[in-house]
Amino acid sequence: MQRKFSFTKPFTLFLVAALFTLLTGFLVIPNSTDNNLGIELRKRKPKKRKYPIEWVSIPAGTFTMGSPKSEADRDFYEEPHQVTLSAFKISKYEISFKQYD
């Protein structure tokens, strides 16, 4: 007796999601490949904020993280080690929900 081929539920959901993505145009295939996959995601326009966020630049650098062996109540995983960070930006103040939303 021959069995009819049937899709499994996860595969069917994946297939539906892939078709939906292609039909709605969430992905744009560029002429030239800008990344490893050759796929460029559609870019959103930046939202103009009613409550602006003030940013501060943090420079790149290296520092020692951890605690010395002589410190009381020190755990084994707090061994001093060097940490190197790239430059980044962070908000100067806490973010309110109005700013986030």
pLDDT digits (tens, 9 = 90+) for 10-37: 777 777 777 766 666 655 555 454 555 5
Element (DSSP H or E) covering residue 14: helix 9-24
Element (DSSP H or E) covering residue 63: strand 61-65
| pTM of the predicted model as reported, rounded to 2 decimal places | 0.41
Residue 33, pLDDT score: 47
Q: In residues, how long is the chain?
A: 101
Q: Tell me the three state secondary structure of residue 9.
A: helix
Q: Each residue of 41-81: pLDDT tens digit?
A: 667 776 676 778 889 999 999 999 999 888 998 888 889 99
Three-state secondary structure of 81-98? EEEEECCEEEECCCCCHH
The answer, yes or no, to whether residue 87 has pLDDT greater than 90, is yes
